[in-house]
Amino acid sequence: MIRIPDFANATPIQIIFCVLAVITLFTAFMTIYSRKPMHSAIYLLICFTSITGHYLLLNSQFLAMVNLIVYIGAIMILIVFTIMLMNLNKENEVYKPRITRLGAIVTFCLMCLVLIAMFINSKPIVGEYTTTGEDYQSIKVLGKVLLNEYMVPFEFASVLLLVAMIGAVLLSKKEKTTK
């Protein structure tokens, strides 16, 4: 049985969460459904921003700032540059048949209903949490862990991103035409 939440007694944080959740779901749907690539990129930017708001509600400032810097700052710039370099024209764009779009909408709505039912019927965890005493929200502790224990994977990720960026530039580079 699905319980309907009582919004009359909701706290401001619950209201902010619900607003952010609606914004996130709407913009995620519009990212996929929008016909224009630049509009999809803008919807994705708004979706990432609302996810940053969720991190702030969870009192996870570090993840919020990493999301802001990495996803909103770097990834969105790369997506916008890729869209601009590819010069997508409406005449060349391949549209999906209506049945495919209808199937995507139905799947999206079913997934939303399943997630809403799952979250409404979930029960909070009752009991004591065991803690180690280390504050992993501290940037100092995260820096030590990231640059001591995970130094090699961290550097591999940076080299991989650099190679991907160089590859994107080389692929988008137009060949010289000889006359």
Residue whose C-alpha is closest to residue 139's, from 64, 58, 48: 64
Indicate whether 92 pLDDT > 70. no
**Average of per-residue pLDDT across 11-39:** 90
Residue whose C-alpha is closest to residue 24's, from 43, 41, 42: 43
Instruction: Note the pLDDT tens digit of each residue in 151-165.
Output: 888 888 888 888 888
Indicate whether 2 pLDDT > 60. no
pLDDT category of residue 5 using cuts at 50, 70 and 90: low
Higher pLDDT, 28 or 79: 28
Output the pLDDT for position 4: 61
Output the pLDDT for position 146: 78
Give, in order, the Cα–Cα distances in Å from 75 to each of 54, 68, 72, 119.
19, 10, 6, 30
Query: What single-letter DSSP state applies at residue 9?
Result: G
CATH assignment of 1-122, given 1.20.120.1200, 3.20.20.120, 1.10.1740.10, 3.30.70.240?
1.20.120.1200
Instruction: Note the pLDDT tens digit of each residue in 44-83.
Output: 999 999 999 999 998 888 888 888 888 888 888 878 777 7
Q: Where are the alpha helices (DSSP H) in the chain?
A: 12-33, 37-57, 61-66, 76-86, 98-120, 139-144, 151-172
Higher pLDDT, 43 or 120: 43
Question: CA angle 4-108-39, nearest 5°?
Answer: 115
Distance CA 19, CA 9 (A): 16
